Structure 1
Amino acid sequence: MATTDVPPTADGRPTAASGAERPGADGAPRRSGQRDAFFDNAKYLAIVLVAVGHAWEPLRSDSRTVTALYTLVYAFHMPAFIVIGGYYSRTFDGSPGRIRRLVTGVALPYVIFETAYTFFTRWTDGVPDRPITLLEPLYLTWFLAALFVWRLTTPLWKLVRWPVPVALAVAMLATMSPSLGEDLDIQRMLQFLPFFVLGLSLRPEHFRAVRTRRARLLAVPVFAAALVGAYWAVPRVNTGWLYHRDSAQELGFPAWYGPMATLVVFACSLLLVACFLSWVPGRRTWFTSLGAATLYGYLLHGFVAQVSKYWGWYDPEWLYEPLGAVVVTVVAAVLVTVLCSAPVRRVFGWAVEPNPDWAFRTAPRTAD
């Protein structure tokens, strides 16, 4: 989701010198440093689903259909983001340049928006004494905290022989550990970890495999079945497993349910992520450039979601009718699209993409 990342080359190395060509995720040659339209398209479509999901949240109590759609979207939209984030992190090696980009692109925005959301929700939630703490991510900021830690651990995952099974084992153990606490929203950090590690392990050919005509056709009945399953599950299944923020005991289940649920949810989410990616266009579209700024849409739309409840935007009864749900969906999609646009980036670039050159030493020049 970070805007400063550039996908690695097909063999996982950093981009070569300017002017060199490399294959993209679709196998087509691209010049070094050129963004891959497929990934930007995927990130834009995923951020639209994130915003729409938050917009649907107040409507769930009055509509089983909206709740089913909400459940389906939550099963794969953040996993898709995190898989792509892991793929973009393949070149992270802990070098000074990479650490600097991690600090400016992830850590500083976390500090800025964690503070901003704390002050903002003091007003919207009516909690004037809410403390400012960087150890307990508020609302959307958990993703930045998790991404910072995940990316720092990238060199370790590159050394592990079976990284995805190990990450799954960590997630399974986390669901059995209610005593982990709230620091850095560690439950979500650990339970979403397998998706990040999976992204680190993927190669361009894996993305090509899910973008065939056959995969796109198969995705239709899979999504249809998933929607039917979500509709059936609404009154019967605890959807808290999809949020990855609680242990099994906190969800009201015995500890041994956690590992089993982790494997089931991971498999279902991964299948839906593959189906979602199969529908993502690989060519440049009108929204491709917006995909490079999804962090803006992610961090800024939360303020609108918070104030919508405070100002009673969901009070009109007609919003809980089918037409109202459609209107809410369209408004949320348009809003997050605007928040990813160039004018918004110019206004809020100082917060989302800070550039504190004064805080870093200049790298010494080496003799030729």
Structure 2
Amino acid sequence: MTNSLYPHGSHRSPLPPAARPADGVPAPRTLHPTAPPTPAPASAPARTDAPKPKQRDAFFDNAKYLAIVFVAMGHCWEPLTDGSRTAEALYMTVYTFHMPAFILISGYFSRSFDMRPDRLRRLITGVAVPYVLFEIAYTLFKRTAGGDPSYPISLLDPWYLTWFLVALFVWRLTTPLWKIIRWPIPVAVAVAVLASVSPELGDDLDLQRVLQFLPFFVLGLFMKPEHFQLVRRREVRILSVPIVLGALALAYWAGPRMTSAWFYHRDSAQELGAPWWAGVVMTLALFGCSIVLTACFFAWVPRRKMWFTVLGAGTLYGYLLHGFLAKGSRFWNWFDADWVHTPAGQIAVTVVAAAVITVLCTPPVQRIFRFAMEPKMEWAFKKDATAVARARART
């Protein structure tokens, strides 16, 4: 095909229908004034080779940002729980829903995952590689700042926050399996229950957490947009207020009577000094409580674009980076000061934690650490023949 209008003199090939001129531009004259111009089809859109960028949903970005803020605040409340029953009640309540909400959203956005090569590459570069890098970085940090020079580097035993990357990797790989079985959510809950009564699982790859948090990921896989619309109704928002207040009151009562380790989902019932049947009861009870409080959380997440919406794309950055400060605050005894344990000090610590995690989710921080969180690593993969063929067809 040629760009010339008249490639062969007077013997012209038929031209495509003329497009409508832009406003203010005169239409070209036709060689035959008596012949009516051929109208351009109104329904034919202009073709373009560049794919349109996906529109991000402000609701989910808002939910991810607010959930990660609760994660940071929960970590700063943990050292305060021994001396403050209020801090312990807040801590237990937040731990009931903040990671379940985050995991449910992760499942929701994993619905399209399959074993396609490009998606496997993104799984490796966006989850597996950051796990390796941050596991090594955390270990070196513990050796130096934590005063434990003999702490080994072990990719089989995640330390602190890196368990989530291991879990996300395993969950996403099993996504096709959950799509073909008949009762995925009950099966996932059964797996979590069995894990809670199986102390022999050990610490390899933090399998207790991988399996006990699994139902929230599977639930997210089968969530639909209308389910989120359901929990965002006005009556749900109103009902969520007494539910959350009741949860806080229950946590205030239960604080001195139970260990908060149940909310971490990292140990079996026997490892927590409880009989095996307590694992069954607590797993089911906490799953139900987490779903209810997560629904209450979603009910109050703003739907429109907010000043913090853009930060939703950087929550994994904030999650992994704030771990150095969260652990460093213990290594450097920041919580030993008496003023921190006063009501004003506890409020100040909470505000600082929210501010720090907010900064760590910002685009400038993302650009600095993208080499570790989203490496391209094109050198490590074979070229996709299908993608290459598509690129040639477009040129």
Unaligned runs of 5+ in 2: 1-49
CA distance in 2, matches of 1:366, 1:337: 42
Q: Deviations over 1:18-65 (max 9, x none)?
A: 45xxxxxxxxxxxx6111110000000000000011011111111000
Is 1:38 the counterpart of 2:38? The answer is: no
Report the alpha carbon displacement of residue 366 of structure 1 after superposing the two structures with TM. 3.5
Aligned residue number for residue 213 of structure 1: 234
- TM-score of the two chains, using structure 1 as the length reference: 0.90
Report the alpha carbon displacement of residue 347 of structure 1 after superposing the two structures with TM. 1.4
Residue of 306, 327, 346 corresponding to 1:306:
327
Superposition pairs of residues 337-348 of structure 1, within 5 angstroms:
337-348=358-369
Q: Deviations over 1:162-200 (max 9, x none)?
A: 100000000000011100111100000000000000000
**Secondary structure at 2:81's aligned position in 1?**
helix
Is 1:248 the counterpart of 2:269? The answer is: yes
Aligned residue number for residue 23 of structure 1: none
Aligned residue number for residue 354 of structure 2: 333
- Matched residues, number: 340
Residue of 301, 324, 331 corresponding to 1:280:
301
Report the alpha carbon displacement of residue 311 of structure 1 after superposing the two structures with TM. 2.2
Q: Deviations over 1:203-250 (max 9, x none)?
A: 001000000111110110000000000000001123222110110101
Aligned residue number for residue 349 of structure 1: 370
**Secondary structure at 1:75's aligned position in 2?**
helix
- Asked if the contact 1:175–1:191 (Cα under 8 Å) also holds between the matched residues in 2, the reply is yes
Aligned residue number for residue 13 of structure 1: none
Aligned residue number for residue 103 of structure 1: 124
Report the alpha carbon displacement of residue 254 of structure 1 after superposing the two structures with TM. 1.2
Aligned residue number for residue 3 of structure 2: none
Which one-letter code corresponds to 1:329 in the other structure? T
Aligned residue number for residue 264 of structure 1: 285
CA distance in 2, matches of 1:76, 1:319: 26
- Asked if the contact 1:82–1:196 (Cα under 8 Å) also holds between the matched residues in 2, the reply is yes
CA distance in 2, matches of 1:238, 1:133: 28
- TM-score of the two chains, using structure 2 as the length reference: 0.84
Aligned-pair identity (%)? 62
Which stretches of structure 1, 4 residues or more, deviate above 6 A after TM superposition?
A: none
CA distance in 1, matches of 2:144, 2:249: 40
Q: Deviations over 1:117-151 (max 9, x none)?
A: 00001123221011111100010000000000000
CA distance in 2, matches of 1:185, 1:64: 30
Residue of 119, 122, 125 corresponding to 2:140:
119
Q: Which one has a bigger Cα radius of gyration? A: 2
CA distance in 2, matches of 1:204, 1:214: 18
Aligned residue number for residue 18 of structure 2: none
- Asked if the contact 1:37–1:284 (Cα under 8 Å) also holds between the matched residues in 2, the reply is yes
Residue of 236, 240, 245 corresponding to 1:224:
245
Q: Deviations over 1:281-324 (max 9, x none)?
A: 01100000000100110000000112212222222201101000
- Asked if the contact 1:124–1:306 (Cα under 8 Å) also holds between the matched residues in 2, the reply is no
Report the alpha carbon displacement of residue 252 of structure 1 after superposing the two structures with TM. 1.0
Residue of 31, 44, 69 corresponding to 1:48:
69
Which one-letter code corresponds to 1:366 in the other structure? A
- Asked if the contact 1:56–1:329 (Cα under 8 Å) also holds between the matched residues in 2, the reply is yes
CA distance in 2, matches of 1:183, 1:268: 28
Is 1:202 the counterpart of 2:223? The answer is: yes
Superposition pairs of residues 165-180 of structure 1, within 5 angstroms:
165-180=186-201
Residue of 191, 195, 210 corresponding to 1:189:
210
CA distance in 1, matches of 2:283, 2:334: 36
CA distance in 2, matches of 1:351, 1:164: 34
CA distance in 1, matches of 2:144, 2:203: 23
- Asked if the contact 1:137–1:184 (Cα under 8 Å) also holds between the matched residues in 2, the reply is yes
Is 1:157 the counterpart of 2:181? The answer is: no
